[in-house]
Amino acid sequence: MARRQYPFHLIEPRWQEQWHAGQTFRAFNPGELIPAGHPFGIRHQLGGKAATAEELPPKFYILDMFPYPSGAGLHVGHPEGYTATDILARYRRAQGRHVLHPMGWDAFGLPAEQYAIKTGQHPRVTTAANIANFTRQIRSLGFSYDWSREVDTTDPGYFRWTQWIFLQLYNAWFNPATRRAEPISTLEYPAGCDTEARRRAYRDSRRLAYVAEAPVNWCPALGTVLANEEVVDGKSEVGGFPVVRKPMRQWMLRITAYAERLLEDLDRIDWSDSLKEMQRNWIGRSEGAEVDFQLEGHGERIRVFTTRPDTLFGATYMVLSPEHRLVAEIATPAQKAEVERYQRFAAGRSDLERAELSKEKTGVWTGAHAINPVNGARIPVWIADYVLASYGTGAIMAVPAHDERDLAFARTFGLPVVQVVRPPDAGTAWEGYCDEGTAVNSSGPGLVLDGLPTAEAKRVVTAWLVEKGLGQRTVNFKLRDWLFSRQRYWGEPFPIVWKADRETGARHHEALGEGELPLMPPELDDYKPTEDGQPPLARATAWLELPGGTVRETNTMPQWAGSCWYYLRYLDARNGTAFVSAEAERYWMTGRPGTGTGPAPASGVDLYVGGTEHAVLHLLYARFWHKVLFDLGHVSTPEPFHKLVNQGLILGEDGQKMSKSRGNVVNPDDVLREYGADAFRLYEMFMGPLSETKPWNTQGVEGVYRFLGRVWRLFVDDASEVEFEQACAADPGNAAAHLARVRLAASIAEGEATPGQLKALHACIRKVTDDLEHLRFNTAISAMMVFVNEALAWTSKPAGVLA
RNA sequence: GCCGCCGUGGUGAAAUGGCAGACACAGGGGACUUAAAAUCCCCUUCCCGCGAGGGAGUGCGGGUUCGAGUCCCGCCGGCGGCACCA
């Protein structure tokens, strides 16, 4: 180990201990007593008072993405974001703002459960041990968190409210007229709902939390289903295990009802373009039309969705998804066997196989024909798995001349291609495919599109379809409802029971009352998932079975449930009667301009820093829950996170992603022991811009460590430094006492600063201030290096300039 | 394939449209030292030159501008996301 540049091992723990003992960074809610001696009370002259929201300084809420406390301990990526937010928290406090800067644990999750399966040790035990280790590591980094607000998603005092929020979703429906969630009691029943059973069925079909039997992503290796967002390239995001489609009865959350608002409200928040774009793409809004095609010799019509109704004249065949409800009806006897064979083939193909073979088109003709409504043309109806059952109407009109996929299919099966759009640059040869242009060959009885540009042609043909009762303008979304149940042990149990009907024996679900929360999970000896998708909770018969044939729901919630609202629990973490008090929520989430400098308080969390891996998971789910809570009057802002910044990934020294198998993982504990928390933090900020991906470099840590040594020597008298070293060598036990005898350097004196010294100081202050406002920590640090390098050369160092 | 972001020394990176490479790392030289470590000083984009100095230079090719790393157009390369979404 290199010689210690300065005694950080004595300085850092001392301050950390003092901050902890004195709750230095505690924030106070309106109405909460502020102890007389607390720094916040002294600074704002509120000591010994219970200040109202009006008396408190304007808020600034700085949030970190709380970690999953894994057994591996803290990763160097965690402190990157945490240091950035901590610097800003301290800066805003210095500006007179009331800063809320909390930390907690996203502690439900698969690793603890898998460890339990292997060892039989209860996840609660390993989770507690991991949290203790994370706490130690994070404390030793000296962050200014308000630990009085610490949350743990696995604490019954926390997940009680996660269950409560689920009940809010369960007991609400989305009113398309008001575009808001409303209590289920406002739901009006259509004619025909004349029995309680029918009303219940209708009600249950409208709830924001509902049960559906649908093909889901089943992961046999994990023994659970997964949300679309958790499946990457046909494999589980966690572990990379194969995922297959399987029809199962699952709990769903109606996030699709909020698709339009989730999209629109991106415009009112301050996120990076790339992140907003990712959410936009995921929501996947597309405008188009639904068009009905009459089947030849059959009463039914086939409805398709298209974004290009202007190409209707080029539709030369139709394709239904293999799962489409009309397939069995329309397949002609001659084709029936082949159609059924194809249906089985398609059903057996995993998502992975579909993705890998996406270039090769497969399909069969049903034997049926449909009539193109614009020109009366007789076109064949095919089935193919390149048409998805779950998007649009599960059926398309194929326009091979103007759609690449249709063209590939048409070429494979020798179907006709008819050009109906001429590209704008008419000079170039038409290669069988083009997007926008001018309509050609597109006129029939009562409808003339020829010569119209694509946008105009869309309008004209849609109006014609509406007039004839053959179609309408439609908007479709890629976003699917959120599959919300998991077959796991280590998650929140659903506050739901299934009651049996006395006459029919059929079961229906009912919610527990709020008074029955928290619903604790049962104790189990065996946490193993089952092969058939039965959750482990189903083994806990004593817990499961209630009087009168009633049984509990045995699925649990996904890990996202707890992280969907933790930023709200921080506002009032110890509240036993509400998930957050209305007053605390209003104070911390709605901005009130007031004294102090810095930007005006934002609506929602002022600054949220975290990794980009949650772009379409946590960040979309949390916005959805927040909007539901907003609609139901539980929170006062439409969006949870005003400004969001993604920290960049920190790579290993070899420029590769850090991983155990590559052996390039940097352990924060080692860095801390060798260089101290300040050097560690400073290095992570000095590496480069916060949002960039950048490789770790231990020599770079030494560079900033040397800088901190220069700062130390700028202030400390050379002779007393030598005495300190000698005293420590002679009597290591009293290092702290030796440290207290270290003197200020003789060159530091009271006295007038020269114009040059003042200029250097103010250039530094100006640069650092400006950089902090824009989160440019690397250049702020370099400005301080410049100043210190210059100050070291001064023979007389005025105390006023250096302090 | 589509969308987004990004291409600057040996490396991490700086640069409201105005002296490209601040600040560091690595490297080279020197001081101190018996020696090493630590510290301090000097050099360090590339090419030519002993030197003074000269020339080139921000992925490539064009353009706008008095002036372009920065703005516009077209390529090439890298990273991330989406990927049969009709």
How confident is the model over A209-265, as pLDDT tens digits? 999 987 788 888 888 888 877 877 777 877 778 888 788 889 999 999 999 999 999
* Residue A201 pLDDT greater than 80, yes or no: yes
When pLDDT is averaged across residues A396-406 and rounded to a whole number, the result is 92
Q: Which residue is nearest to nucleotide B26 (CA to C1')?
A: A699
Closest nucleotide (C1' vs CA) to A405 is B84
Q: Measuring CA to CA, which residue among A412, A374, A387, A376 is closest to residue A318?
A: A387
Share of chain A above pLDDT 90, in %: 66
Residue A75, number of CB atoms within 10 A of its CB: 16
Give pLDDT, residue A743: 79
pTM score over 0.90 = yes
Which of the 378-417 residues on chain A come under 7 Å of nucleic strand B at their beta carbon? 385-388, 391-392, 394, 396, 403, 405
Measured CA to C1', the nucleotide nearest A617 is: B81
pLDDT above 60 for A208: yes
* Per-residue flag: A773 CB under 7 A of strand B: no
Q: Which residue is closest, via its CA, to the C1' of B14?
A: A779
Give the model's pLDDT for residue A3: 67
CA–C1' gap, A185 and B22, in angstroms = 65
Lowest mean pLDDT among A40-49, A326-335, A643-652, A790-799: A790-799
The answer for residues whose C-beta is within 8 angstroms of residue A53's C-beta and 6 or more apart is A30, A583, A586, A587, A592
Q: What is the pLDDT of residue A116?
A: 85
Is the pLDDT at A597 greater than 90? The verdict is no
The answer to whether strand B lies under 7 Å from the CB of residue A781 is: yes
Q: Where does the pLDDT of residue A288 fall: very low under 50, low under 70, confident under 90, or very high at 90 and above?
A: very high
Write out A145-200 in H/E/C secondary structure.
CCHHHCEECCCHHHHHHHHHHHHHHHCEEEECCCCEEEEHHHCCCCCCCCCHHHHH
In the structure, how far is the CA atom of residue A767 from the C1' atom of nucleotide B17, in angstroms? Answer: 21
Q: How far is the CA of A278 from the C1' of B4 (A)?
A: 8
Is residue A1 scored above 70 in pLDDT?
no
Shortest CA distance to A107 belongs to which of A155, A161, A154?
A154
Helix (H) or strand (E) holding A42: helix A39-43
Q: Do residues A582 and A588 make contact, with C-beta atoms less than 8 angstroms apart?
A: no
More confident residue, A659 or A708: A708
With a cut of 60, say whether residue A554 has pLDDT above it: yes
Distances (CA, A) of A525 to A291, A485, A553: 56, 22, 19
Establish whether the CB of A472 is closer than 7 Å to any nucleic acid atom in strand B: no
pLDDT digits (tens, 9 = 90+) for A102-144: 999 999 988 888 888 888 889 999 999 999 999 999 999 999 9
Nearest to A248 by CA among A265, A266, A223: A223
Residue-wise pLDDT tens digits, A320-358: 999 999 999 999 999 999 999 999 988 877 666 666 655
Task: Flag residues 413-442 of A with CB < 7 Å from strand B.
Answer: none
Positions 102-131 in A, CB within 7 angstroms of strand B: none
Strand B bases contacted by the protein (CB, 7 Å)? 3-5, 11-15, 22-26, 37-41, 79-86
pLDDT (average), residues A575-599: 84
Interatomic separation, CA of residue A274 and C1' of nucleotide B85, rounded (Å): 20
Question: CA–C1' distance A733–B41 (Å)?
Answer: 38
Mean pLDDT, rounded, of chain A: 90
Shortest CA to C1' contact from A308: nucleotide: B86
Measured from the CB, is A31 under 7 Å from any atom of strand B?
no
**Rounded Cα gap, residues A569 and A580, in angstroms:** 6
Tens digits of residue pLDDT in A223-237:
888 887 787 777 787
Closest CA to A69 of A112, A26, A35: A112
What pLDDT, on the 0 to 100 scale, is given for residue A473? 93
What totals of helices (H) and strands (E) does chain A contain, helices first? Answer: 26, 32
> Which pLDDT value is given to residue A429?
45
Beta strands (DSSP E) in A46-97 are 59-64
Nucleic strand B near CB of residue A354 (< 7 Å): yes
Contacts of A476 (CB under 8 A, 6+ apart): A285, A286, A288, A305, A391, A392
- Give the closest residue to A615 by CA, choosing from A164, A223, A272, A231: A272
Render pLDDT for A421-430 as a digit per residue (tens, 0 to 9). 887 655 444 4
> From the Cβ of A274, is strand B under 7 Å away?
yes
A96 φψ region: left (φ > 0), alpha (ψ -120 to 50), beta (else): left
Asked whether strand B has any atom less than 7 Å from the CB of A303, the reply is: no
Closest nucleotide to A713 by C1' from CA? B39
A242, A235 Cβ separation under 8 angstroms? yes
What pLDDT score was predicted for residue A240? 79
Query: Tell me, in Å, how far CA of A697 is from C1' of B13?
Result: 13
Q: Is the pLDDT of residue A800 over 70?
A: no
Helices A123-139 and A110-119: crossing angle in degrees, nearest 10, is 130
